[in-house]
Amino acid sequence: MKEYDVIIVGGGIHGAGVLQAAAAAGHRALLIEQRGIASGTSSRSSKLIHGGLRYLESGQFSLVRESLRERAIHLRIASELVELKAFFIPVYGDTRRRPWQLKLGLWLYALLGGFSASTRFGGVPKRDWPTLDGLETRGLDAVIRYYDAQTDDELLTRAVIRSARELGGEVSVPAQFVGANLTEDGVLVTYSKDAANVECRATVLVNAAGPWATQVSRTVRPAIPIPATELVQGTHIVVPRKVTAGIYYVESPADGRAVFIMPWHGATMIGTTETPYQGEPDRVKPLPEEEEYLLAVVRHYFPAFRDLTREHITSRFAGLRVLPAATEEAHHRSRETLFSSDRKSRPRVLSIYGGKLTGWRAAAAQVMELIGPSLPVRARRAATDSLILRRTS
Ligand SMILES: Cc1cc2nc3c(=O)[nH]c(=O)nc-3n(C[C@H](O)[C@H](O)[C@H](O)COP(=O)(O)OP(=O)(O)OC[C@H]3O[C@@H](n4cnc5c(N)ncnc54)[C@H](O)[C@@H]3O)c2cc1C
């Protein structure tokens, strides 16, 4: 039977990050992915490496500070994959947040980002409004510009996997985790590969199965604690029109929620929605009413998009956020990553719930800190904040 220090379930950004961090720390590590690398949430996000400006409103300052730090690290180690972009917030007579509120928020954002050059912000002068891709100027009071970063989530995940492999991390895909039995000092793991069951041993099992994490946790024997979470669906659509000046951060005219209108491969991507989801994670797909909601947003702000209907949509995708169970609306809930283990000291199973694409490296570092006491001491090979990530295709 093969033995590993760490076995990871899930080839999304979190699983990739933990594989890289474990391999960099000198551990023998294996990642099991059932479909394809980044086939789950990590190819269906808004593709932003951002501090999360709106999390300031819910007081998640430490999350914003950490995300801005991670954004700066990405711009250094993943410059082929992560690009700083101008973001525009148009303010009309009926926009909920006024220019002074936005500027105050952006000042706080800059403070949490250490007032680095990438945290600069200001108003776009009226004479420059015609450069904003045909943005509706009737009733427009101000346009605020700041900077955040855009990536390709799937390519980023693949790049992290490549880096992990170069450090000796193993990947088995397609391979489906079936179950695990805890022993006094580790875990017996069963997964299926090529229609046969494979058994191996790990000192620690890391459950990075994203929206499937609860299902994975339920297969562990004896049973482990499982935090109460909910799934919230987010849909994006792509339409064959161009915006080029940057990313527009607008309020939905229907309910005031924040929506992004972004350049994407020569077209425009619009997202996202927040729809509670109760079904199987495999079955998530964009709903017609979500597509109409997103089209209504883009039509409202860009007169040249007013003829667009659902027939014009060239691509659509939906992903699932894992949020702590609560009564308030999804956009007010914590976006902090939640870690849960089978026991406080020397954990044998550690599960990751929720989190952000932006925070994958910090989350992986935290996982290594939590499972460190369970693992044997090995010679470190590298530090993840200085490993350069390259495009794989
Ligand atoms: C709509 C939306 C927009 C978002 N936008 C942003 C954004 O712009 N910026 C940002 O920072 N964050 C964003 N996020 C958050 C971010 O996308 C997620 O936190 C992140 O992608 C989650 O990655 P993950 O690895 O935890 O899960 P996933 O990417 O879902 O990976 C889990 C993997 O586990 C595999 N798996 C499941 N069960 C098994 C099994 N039994 N055996 C083997 N493999 C298994 C799945 O196939 C899947 O590939 C967004 C999220 C959503 C939903």
Question: For residue 332, what pLDDT band results from cuts at 50, 70 and 90?
Answer: low
Atom of ligand 1 nearest to the CA of 211: 30
Atom of ligand 1 nearest to the CA of 234: 1
pLDDT for 57 equals: 87
Residue 393 confidence (pLDDT) above 80: no
Does 13 sit in the ligand 1 pocket, CB within 6 Å?
yes
Residue 330 confidence (pLDDT) above 90: no
- Residue 17 near residue 50 (C-beta atoms within 8 A): no
pLDDT for 197 equals: 97
Determine whether 327 is exposed, middle or buried from the number of CB atoms within 10 Å of its CB (0-12, 13-18, 19+): exposed
Name the closest-CA residue to atom 48, ligand 1. 40
Of 161, 153, 185, the C-alpha closest to 23 is 161
Residue 67 confidence (pLDDT) above 80: yes
Does 157 sit in the ligand 1 pocket, CB within 6 Å?
no
Name the closest-CA residue to atom 35, ligand 1. 10
* Cis peptide upstream of residue 376 (ω within 30 degrees of 0): no
Determine whether 364 is exposed, middle or buried from the number of CB atoms within 10 Å of its CB (0-12, 13-18, 19+): buried
Task: Give 42 Cα–ligand 1 centroid separation in angstroms.
Answer: 4
Task: Give 46 Cα–ligand 1 centroid separation in angstroms.
Answer: 12
CA distance 273 to 257: 9
Question: For residue 58, what pLDDT band results from cuts at 50, 70 and 90?
Answer: confident
Question: pTM for this one?
Answer: 0.97
Atom of ligand 1 nearest to the CA of 358: 11
Q: What is the per-residue pLDDT across 253-269, written as a single tens digit (0 to 9) for each?
A: 999 999 999 999 999 99
Containing 350, the helix (H) or strand (E) segment is strand 349-353
Residue 30 confidence (pLDDT) above 90: yes
Does 48 sit in the ligand 1 pocket, CB within 6 Å?
yes
Question: Which residues, at least 6 apart from 260, have a Cβ–Cβ distance to it below 8 Å?
Answer: 46, 48, 247, 248, 249, 250, 269, 270, 271, 272
Of 136, 96, 137, the C-alpha closest to 255 is 96
Task: Give 12 Cα–ligand 1 centroid separation in angstroms.
Answer: 5
Residue 202 confidence (pLDDT) above 80: yes
CA distance 30 to 284: 28
Average pLDDT, the chain: 96
Name the closest-CA residue to atom 26, ligand 1. 210
pLDDT for 326 equals: 78
- Give me the residue label for tokens 């193993």: 170
Mean pLDDT value across residues 306-319: 98
Residue 184 confidence (pLDDT) above 70: yes
Name the closest-CA residue to atom 27, ligand 1. 210
Mutate to test the pocket of ligand 1, among 205, 206, 320, 356 (most ligand atoms within 8 A of CB): 356
Task: Give 13 Cα–ligand 1 centroid separation in angstroms.
Answer: 7
Does 210 sit in the ligand 1 pocket, CB within 6 Å?
yes
Q: Residue 247 corresponds to which tokens in the numbers above?
A: 């990313």
Task: Give 165 Cα–ligand 1 centroid separation in angstroms.
Answer: 20
Mean pLDDT value across residues 370-385: 97
- Residue 229 near residue 353 (C-beta atoms within 8 A): yes
Does 133 sit in the ligand 1 pocket, CB within 6 Å?
no
Phi, psi (degrees; rounded to nearest 5) at 117:
-55, -35
CA distance 102 to 98: 6
